[in-house]
Amino acid sequence: MLEAILVMAFGALVLGAALGYAAVRFRVEGDPLVEKIDAILPQTQCGQCGFPGCKPYAQAIAKGEAEINQCPPGGEEGIHKLADLLGREFKSLSAEHGIEKPKSVAVIDEQVCIGCTLCIQACPVDAIVGAAKQMHTVVAPLCTGCELCLPPCPVDCISMQSTGESVENWKWKYPVVKINPAQREST
């Protein structure tokens, strides 16, 4: 009995001291995982995931506090990438956070706009230019299509227009296959 306690006590002292020392000395600062997750998120900054932007959502995923299927703009594609990165199982997009929509940009009806600047304040990427009491304009290539500027507009002059197909951005379609359904789509 005494030997047992002595032997174990000796071990415990050594280990405890070493571990305590290690824990303090080598605590890992920062989290590269967040950066990796953030790199996958589409940066629409729309908040549909339930977090105020993509970075906070990335932090939540890294901490294990959020599921990976809450970002509608990222779509199934994004979820697959997150699942790969984190080694989790794929889950289809959570319906309560919205649905995948074709990419679109905001357009301000210049006739109606009263120049209230409310949309400028709402836009997370500063894609709207204009000043108080002047007509505002959306800089289309900067607009992420987050729709955050729609609700604040007092005269409802902002609408979303889908960015159509042109010869430049046209994509070859998935070959029409009768036998092998698209792997990822059917899950």
Partner 1 sequence: MTSYLFVVLGAVLVNNVVFVRILGLCPFMGVSKKLETAVGMGAATTFVLTMACGASFVIDRWLLIPNQLEYLRTLSFIVTIAAIVQLTELVIQKTSPLLHQVLGIYLPLITTNCAVLGIPLLNVSLRHNFLESLLFGFGSAVGFTLALILFAGIRERLEAADVPVHFRGTAIAMITAGLMSLAFMGFAGLDKYK
Partner 2 sequence: MSEPIEVTHRESSVLRISVRTAAIMLAFTLVFTAMMAGTYKATEPLVAASALAEKLRLIGEVLPPGGYDNDLMADSIILPRQIILGLDDETRIWRARKGGMPVALVFEAAALDGYSGRISLIQAVDADGRLLALRVTAHKETPGLGDYIDPKKDKNKTRPWITQFSNLGFDTVPRKKWRVKKDGGRFDQMTGATISARAVTNASGRALAWAVEHRDKLFALPANSRFEESKP
Partner 3 sequence: MSALQRLFKFHGGVKPAYNKEASTGLPIAVAPTPTLLVIPLHQSIGGMPRPLVKAGERVLKGQRIGGADGNASSAVHASTSGAVVAVEMRLMPHTSGLSALCVVIEPDGRDEWIARQPFDFRKASPTQTRDYLRDAGVVGLGGAVFPTHLKLNPGKHGKLDTLVLNGAECEPFITCDDVLMRERAETILKGAIIMREMLSARQVLIGIEDNKPEAIAAMEIAAQAANQAAGDLAMQVVSVPTRYPAGGAKQLIRVLTGIEVPHGKRSTDYGVQCFNVGTAYAVYEAIALGQPLISRIVTVAGNVGQARNYEALFGTPMRDLVALCDPLPDSDRVIMGGPMMGLLMPGDEVPVVKATNCVLVGSRKLFPPPPPEMPCIRCGECAKACPADLQPFEMYWFSRAKIFGKAQEYKLFDCIECGCCAYVCPSHIPLVDYYRFAKSEIWAREVDKEAADIARERYEFRLLREEREKQEKAAKLAAKTAAGREKAAAAIAEAAKPAATPEDDTKKALIAAALERAKAQKEQVHPGNVSNLTPEQEAEVTAIEARRAEIREMAKPHLRQDD
Which residues contact ligand SF4 (rule: CB under 6 A)? 41-42, 44-49, 51, 53-54, 57, 71-74, 106, 122-123, 125, 127-128, 138, 143-149
CB burial of residue 176 (10 Å; 0-12, 13-18, 19+)? exposed
**Does 151 interact with partner 1 (rule: CB under 8 A)?**
no
Q: Which of 23, 28, 167, 179 binds partner 2 (CB under 8 A)?
A: 23
Contact 56, 127 (CB under 8 A): no
| Amino acid letter, 116 | C
**Two structure tokens written together for 12:** 């415990």
| 147 contacts partner 3 (rule: CB under 8 A) | no
Contact 50, 66 (CB under 8 A): yes
Specify the long-range contacts of residues 5-12, CB closer than 8 Å, at least 24 apart. Answer: none
Q: Binding marks (x or -) toward partner 2, 154..173, rule CB under 8 A?
A: --------------------
Is position 9 an interface residue for partner 1 (rule: CB under 8 A)? no
Name residues whose C-beta falls within 8 Å of residue 35's C-beta, 6 or more positions apart in sequence.
58
| Total of residues contacting partner 3 (CB under 8 A) | 42
Q: For partner 1, which residue of 9, 13, 22, 131 counts as binding (CB under 8 A)?
A: 22
* Interatomic CA distance for residues 74 and 64, integer angstroms: 19
Task: State which of positions 66-95 bind partner 1 (CB under 8 A).
Answer: 84, 87, 89
Minimum distance of ligand SF4 from residue 168's CB (angstroms): 21
Q: Is the dihedral of CA 57, 61, 65, 70 positive or negative?
A: positive
**Residue whose CB is less far from partner 2, 28 or 179:** 28
Cα–Cα distance for residue pair 97/66, rounded to 1 Å: 12
Which residues make up the interface to partner 3 (CB under 8 A)?
38, 41-45, 53-55, 124-127, 129-131, 134-135, 137-142, 144, 165-167, 169-175, 177-180, 182-184
- Residues lying near partner 2 in the complex (CB under 8 A) are found at 1, 4-5, 8-9, 11-21, 23-25, 27
